[in-house]
Structures are given as structure tokens and as C-alpha cells.
């Protein structure tokens, strides 16, 4: 199942643990109300963050022609009520984005209709400063998990 996951870690330099990915765990449903799923022709493409009722922040390499936005999600394979579907009215990739190197890999996505703010759909509170080395951090994103039941997809190795 594609579920929303969180990863907790201490901020360190890339040289210390560059090859090690932290292990994720399933989020409490709707505990990350800013998390957005970008879809291309009905298929999950990328994660993003709601930064205001009208704007989403994502990676520029996620840009597609037929992008749709889903907010209020937890499990991407089923509807459980609070989801909101939005079309996109404008995509603004960083003006110096380089596809080959992924430098400046950031874009803004304007929703054609603002998100309806609810307990399950809320903008991300942006930080006032950068984290410092050794500070505890949490990252959320979509990941494939397995509950080890017959007929489910994914495996413990595919988490994250």
C-alpha cells in the first residue's frame, strides 16, 4: 500500500551517513495535513507540500503536462473521505533549474481552486531558520509499505 510515512533522524553531514537511508514508519492518518500527492494521468508521480491554500511546493523534476493534485490523503489506494482533488492553473519551475544535474530542483504549483482548509488539509508552517547539525528532524513522504499479508504489494525493503 502507498501510505504516508515519516522519517526521524538527526541532521548530520552527508559524509557521515551519506549511504544510509533512515527507516520510515507509517504516519498517524492525517497527522501531516500539508502533505500533497501529485498525479499524472491517474498515477502517483511525486510528493509535495501545501504552503498556502492556493500554492504547492514540489521538485521541478516532477513537472508534467497533465498534473493533478490530491490533498488530505493518507492511503493513495483508497478514498476515506477527507481527500480533495485539484487541477493546476500554473506551474513555475525555478528559473535556473537544470534537468541534467537537478540543480535548483524546486517548483511552485498554483491550484486552479484553493484548497478547503480542514483538520486534514493545512499549509505547512515554514521554519524561521535552518536546522543546525545534531538537531532532530522529521521528514514525511509517500512510500510503499507491506503488511506481510498475502496479496499485498511491497516488502520491508521497499519502505521509504
Which position has the higher pLDDT, 11 or 34?
34
R_g (Cα) of the chain, nearest Å: 16
CA contacts within 13 A on the Cβ side of 47: 21
Q: With 90 as the cut, is the pLDDT of residue 141 above it?
A: no
**In the prediction, which pLDDT does 101 show?**
94
**In the prediction, which pLDDT does 4 show?**
65
Taking residues 33-37, what's their average pLDDT? 95
The pLDDT confidence band at residue 103, using thresholds 50, 70 and 90, is very high
Q: Report yes or no: 107 and 38 within 8 Å, Cβ to Cβ.
A: no
The pLDDT confidence band at residue 61, using thresholds 50, 70 and 90, is very high
Which position has the higher pLDDT, 123 or 14?
123
**In the prediction, which pLDDT does 137 show?**
80
Local structure of residue 24 (DSSP, 8 states): P
Taking residues 122-128, what's their average pLDDT? 89
Look up residue 11 and give its three cell numbers: 541532521
Local structure of residue 152 (DSSP, 8 states): -
Cα separation, 88 vs 71, whole angstroms? 13
Q: Report yes or no: 73 and 101 within 8 Å, Cβ to Cβ.
A: no
Q: With 90 as the cut, is the pLDDT of residue 39 above it?
A: yes
E-only strand ranges, the chain: 2-10, 25-26, 35-40, 43-50, 55-58, 67-71, 84-93, 107-111, 136-144
Give the mean pLDDT of the chain.
81
Amino acid at each position: 500500500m502507498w501510505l504516508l510515512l515519516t522519517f526521524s533522524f538527526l541532521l548530520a553531514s552527508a559524509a557521515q551517513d551519506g549511504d544510509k537511508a533512515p527507516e520510515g514508519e507509517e504516519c498517524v492518518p492525517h497527522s501531516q495535513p500539508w502533505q500533497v500527492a501529485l498525479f499524472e494521468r491517474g498515477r502517483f508521480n511525486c510528493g509535495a507540500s501545501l504552503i498556502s491554500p492556493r500554492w504547492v511546493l514540489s521538485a521541478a523534476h516532477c513537472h508534467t503536462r497533465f498534473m493533478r493534485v490530491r490533498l488530505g490523503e493518507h492511503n493513495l489506494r483508497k478514498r476515506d473521505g477527507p481527500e480533495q482533488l485539484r487541477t493546476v492553473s500554473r506551474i513555475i519551475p525555478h528559473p535556473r533549474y537544470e534537468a541534467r544535474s537537478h540543480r535548483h530542483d524546486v517548483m511552485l504549483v498554483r491550484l486552479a481552486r484553493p484548497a478547503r482548509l480542514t483538520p486534514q488539509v493545512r499549509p505547512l508552517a515554514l521554519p524561521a531558520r535552518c536546522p543546525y547539525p545534531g538537531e532532530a528532524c522529521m521528514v514525511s513522504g509517500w512510500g510503499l509499505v507491506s503488511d506481510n499479508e498475502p496479496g499485498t504489494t511491497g516488502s520491508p525493503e521497499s519502505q521509504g
